[in-house]
Amino acid sequence: MQTSISSILLLGGLAGVPVLTAIVVAFRMRPAKQSRTGVAAAVLPALLMLGLFYSLAIHMHQSLGAWPTSIGERGFPTGLITHGSIATNYFTILLLVSIFTWPVAFLLCALIRRWRVCVYYLGVYGFACLVCFGSMLLAPSQFLNWWWD
């Protein structure tokens, strides 16, 4: 079967619609008084990822004197390799939690009356992750090519 839409775009759209719906539901169910600590805890993982990502980009450009020209870490200084490992491992963990754990937690909190107050904070977390991912796409294309490969 041949379609004009790439499979990655189709999969992203199929995953994105429920996430955006969940975020809208979460913001409509927000508690009368939001906890600053809860909001900070919900936003912190995405902000940490964004900080790691862009600090790696700056570190890479300053260490190499230019953007990487090839895939991999050949010729990189040890500190840059360590920084890259930390950033990619954190991104992997955040992505896996967001894909597999977040929807289950959101549904459980939405269905169990006593946990419904958490739906708002899970929505803030989901929104922060989407904003973080979108902000990552604004990096220079040479760095993005290296990052995704």
Q: What predicted TM-score, i.e. pTM, was given to this entire model?
A: 0.81
Burial class (CB in 10 A: 0-12, 13-18, 19+), 38: middle
Q: Is the pLDDT of residue 53 over 90?
A: yes
Please state, rounded to an integer, the average pLDDT across all residues of the chain: 85
Q: Where exactly are the structural domains of the chain?
A: 7-148
Note the pLDDT tens digit of each residue in 6-49.
Answer: 565 566 666 666 777 777 777 777 777 878 898 899 999 999 99
Whether 123 and 34 have beta carbons less than 8 Å apart is answered as no
Q: Is the pLDDT of residue 147 over 60?
A: yes
Report the chain's terminal Cα–Cα distance, integer Å.
28
Note the pLDDT tens digit of each residue in 108-129.
Answer: 988 898 988 888 888 889 889 8
Note the pLDDT tens digit of each residue in 88-111.
Answer: 999 999 988 888 888 888 889 888
Provide the pLDDT for residue 10.
Answer: 63
Question: CA-CA distance, 94 to 87, in Å (whole number)?
Answer: 10
Question: CA-CA distance, 148 to 8, in Å (whole number)?
Answer: 14
Is 64 or 15 the better-scoring residue by pLDDT? 64
DSSP 3-state of 71: coil
Question: Could you tell me the pLDDT band of residue 137, with boundaries at 50, 70 and 90?
Answer: confident
Provide the pLDDT for residue 14.
Answer: 63
